[in-house]
């Protein structure tokens, strides 16, 4: 029996974007359901930089130039970017004041203030008793939260406190799985039971697609539930070929894929199995130490080139002394707990998927191509173009979260009133015993190799053949209950979304921003356009939108 729930605004996902949207909708007087699956959000592990025109030393013009040209490489959606830059100072000031987010001024904006000497667990649960047992954001401990809070944890904890204190927000623990095409109903599992939620506006905020890769510095559970659900309902995605990688994530057996935040000492180097200095090898004699390199996308491509050629790559801290390390260094704290030999034995690393630059196509109010359905935060795309400028993701999530939450509340529509429909697939299906973890592992490895920081046509093509096999396998899976059904649905969508990215990467026969093709190493003016993709009758349909020369100066990819 499917339970029915009714609300004005349904928000799916409880990272920075979802929480801000829920608070904004609730402050407009709406009844809000916030559905969170209890899995860790990127927000809680982020490093809390908030890059926007927050003070005189860093203005809108500088940021526009930096985002649209230096990083976005001419592909930013100029209307979205203008809205973000215009609204961010006001929205961020409101949010920081209203929810008591502690911040410090930094060169390019603000930074959430880290609660030093507190673990993430302390910060999230220390003040709470009511939710501490029920509210399981436990997997975070598998990442970094066990040892140390990050700046992002502090920001997340304040938003969470505000959401919990808001009488207009009902928090439900569960996963949204199906979006009814053409209506504003969602099929979900809430506390493992099937529920249909009828809303008048829906805000999707389920984060990025980084969990589709073998190595990610994000929670690996971010595999695109929201993208898959929206795509199945007919929504369009944009810029989906642009996936940002961080070059230095720990790849040691039994250690979580920790992100080596660059607060390590200056004399840290990068070596390979042959003992070569990888920076000198690829970038010339002038490049010896990691501290000399500021282009992380270029570094990710260098590391991946070594790995694809069969080399292990390592960060070597042996030239550093313990006194060179800042006492509150995030990298130092994590490594001393997880890889205690790190000062003498080089630490194996790999590029980790870090940020999904593309996502659901939205307008300046956060509306997707589906009526009364919004997308915010990392699951929305378009504003960053070919690459994201550092520190702008949280500002994007919070600014558009607030814009979309308000807009959704002021423009309630919806057309599902009174319908009581079970939207989920049936709880049982005959078929092979589902080996979801194995299949997901194979998919992630294929993606890391073929869709990683360096791509070429041949590898992308052979990944397509693998995906066809994966799809067959996933379709043959049966299930015996809703939980198993959810796992099968997730892996099916993970394959679909991987294939969607792959096709977009294959079509873009140039290198631009974080899309790096070794067989097309230069940028091409012919590709000054965005790709928009939607599913129709089970097939991907691509459209191209020219951005015009005024939006972009020709760029060449280093």
Ligand X SMILES: Cc1cc2nc3c(=O)[nH]c(=O)nc-3n(C[C@H](O)[C@H](O)[C@H](O)COP(=O)(O)OP(=O)(O)OC[C@H]3O[C@@H](n4cnc5c(N)ncnc54)[C@H](O)[C@@H]3O)c2cc1C
Instruction: Write out the binding residues for ligand X, residues 203-222 only, by CB under 6 A.
Output: 205-207, 217-218, 221-222
Which residues have CB under 8 Å from 517's CB, separation 6+? 454, 455, 456, 457, 505, 508, 509, 510, 511
* CB-nearer residue toward ligand X: 422 or 518: 422
Q: Which residue, 226 or 528, has its beta carbon nearer to ligand X?
A: 226
User: How many whole angstroms separate alpha carbon 96 and alpha carbon 92?
Assistant: 6
Q: Which residue stretch of 47-55, 94-102, 276-284, 341-349 sits at the interface with ligand X (rule: CB under 6 A)?
A: 47-55
Report the residue from 7, 149, 392, 523 that binds ligand X according to the rule CB under 6 A: 392
Q: Which residue has the tokens 């908030």?
A: 50
Return the H-helix or E-strand segment holding 170: strand 169-179
Binding test (CB under 6 A) with ligand X, winner from 35, 360, 463, 514 = 35
Query: Which range binds ligand X by CB under 6 A, 89-97, 122-130, 201-209, 550-558?
Result: 201-209
Asked if 382 is part of the footprint of ligand X (rule: CB under 6 A), the reply reads no
Q: Residue 18 or 414: which CB sits closer to ligand X?
A: 18
What order do you get walking across the sheet with 347-356 strand by strand? Answer: 243-250, 347-356, 313-316, 269-272
CA distance 240 to 224: 12
Find tokens 């499917």 and name the residue.
Answer: 2
Q: Applying CB under 6 A, does 409 fall inside the site for ligand X?
A: no
- Judged on CB neighbours under 10 Å (0-12, 13-18, 19+), 456 is middle
Residue nearer to ligand X on the CB measure, 175 or 271 = 175
User: Judged by CB, which is closer to ligand X: 259, or 264?
Assistant: 259
398 and 86 Cβ atoms separated by less than 8 Å: no
The residue among 262 and 478 lying less far from ligand X, judged by its C-beta, is 262
Which of residues 260 and 443 has its CB atom nearest to ligand X in the complex?
Answer: 260
Long-range CB pairs of 130-138 (<8 Å, 24+ gap) are 130/164, 131/164, 134/173, 135/38, 135/173, 136/38, 136/173, 137/38, 137/39, 137/40, 137/41, 137/44, 138/38
CA distance 208 to 17: 12
Q: Shortest approach of ligand X to residue 33 CB, angstroms?
A: 11
d(CA 408, CA 413): 9
Structure tokens at 37: 């699956």
194 binds ligand X, rule: CB under 6 A: no
Judged by CB under 6 A, the residue of 67, 162, 176, 408 near ligand X is 176
The nearer residue to ligand X, 500 or 552, going by C-beta atoms, is 500
Stretch that binds ligand X, among 10-18, 78-86, 361-369, 442-450 (CB under 6 A): 10-18
Write down the least CB distance from residue 506 to ligand X, Å.
26
Only one of the segments 30-38, 102-110, 330-338, 341-349 lies at the binding site for ligand X (rule: CB under 6 A); that segment is 30-38
Q: Which residue ranges make up the site for ligand X (CB under 6 A)?
A: 12-18, 35-37, 39, 41-43, 45-49, 152, 175-176, 205-207, 217-218, 221-222, 225-226, 259, 355, 377-378, 391-394, 397
């Amino acid at each position: 029996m499917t339970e029915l729930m009714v609300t004005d605004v349904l928000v799916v996902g409880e990272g920075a974007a979802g929480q801000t949207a829920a608070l904004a909708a609730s402050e407009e007087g709406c009844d809000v359901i916030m559905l969170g699956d209890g899995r860790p959000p990127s927000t809680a592990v982020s490093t809390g930089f908030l890059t926007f025109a927050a003070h005189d030393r860093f203005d809108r013009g500088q940021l526009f130039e930096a985002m649209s040209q230096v990083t976005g490489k001419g592909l930013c959606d100029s209307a979205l970017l203008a809205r973000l830059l215009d609204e961010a100072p006001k929205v961020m000031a409101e949010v920081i004041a209203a929810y008591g987010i502690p911040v410090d001024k930094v060169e390019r904006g603000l930074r959430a203030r880290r609660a030093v000497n507190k673990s993430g667990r302390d910060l999230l649960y220390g003040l709470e008793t009511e939710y501490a047992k029920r509210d399981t954001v436990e997997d975070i401990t598998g990442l970094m939260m066990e040892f140390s809070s990050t700046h992002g944890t502090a920001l997340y904890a304040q938003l969470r406190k505000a959401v919990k204190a808001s009488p207009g927000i009902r928090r439900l623990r569960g996963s949204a799985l199906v979006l009814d095409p053409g209506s504003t109903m969602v099929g979900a599992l809430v506390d493992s039971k099937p529920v249909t939620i009828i809303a008048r506006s829906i805000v999707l905020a389920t984060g990025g697609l980084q969990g589709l890769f073998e190595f990610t510095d994000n929670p690996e559970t971010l595999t695109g539930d929201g993208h898959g659900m929206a795509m199945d309902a007919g929504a369009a995605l944009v810029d989906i070929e642009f996936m940002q990688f961080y070059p230095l994530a720990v790849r040691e057996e039994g250690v979580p894929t920790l992100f080596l935040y660059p607060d390590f000492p200056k004399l840290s180097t990068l070596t390979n199995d042959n003992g070569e200095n990888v920076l000198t090898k690829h970038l010339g004699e002038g490049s010896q130490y990691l501290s000399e390199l500021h282009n992380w996308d270029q570094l990710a491509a260098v590391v991946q080139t070594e790995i694809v050629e069969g080399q292990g790559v390592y960060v070597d801290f042996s030239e550093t002394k313990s006194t060179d390390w800042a006492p509150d260094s995030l990298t130092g704290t994590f490594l001393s707990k997880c890889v205690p030999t790190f000062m003498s034995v080089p630490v194996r690393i790999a590029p980790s998927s870090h940020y999904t630059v593309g996502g659901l196509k939205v307008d300046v109010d956060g509306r997707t191509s589906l009526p009364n359905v919004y997308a915010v935060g990392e699951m929305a795309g378009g504003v960053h173009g070919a690459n994201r400028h550092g520190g702008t993701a949280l500002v994007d999530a919070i600014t558009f979260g607030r814009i979309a939450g308000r807009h959704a509340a002021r423009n309630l529509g919806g057309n599902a009133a009174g319908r009581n429909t079970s939207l989920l697939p049936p709880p049982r299906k005959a078929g092979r015993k589902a080996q979801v973890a194995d299949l997901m592992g194979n998919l992630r490895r294929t993606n890391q190799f073929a869709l990683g920081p360096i791509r070429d046509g041949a590898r992308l093509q052979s990944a397509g053949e693998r995906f066809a096999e994966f799809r067959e396998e996933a379709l043959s899976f049966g299930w015996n209950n809703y939980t198993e059904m959810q796992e099968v649905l997730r892996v099916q969508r993970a394959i679909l979304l991987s294939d969607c990215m792959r096709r977009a990467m294959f079509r873009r026969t140039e290198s631009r921003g974080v899309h790096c093709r070794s067989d097309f190493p230069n940028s091409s003016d012919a590709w000054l356009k965005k790709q928009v993709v939607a599913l129709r009758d089970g097939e991907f349909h691509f459209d191209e939108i020219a951005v015009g020369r005024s939006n972009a100066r020709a760029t060449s990819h280093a």
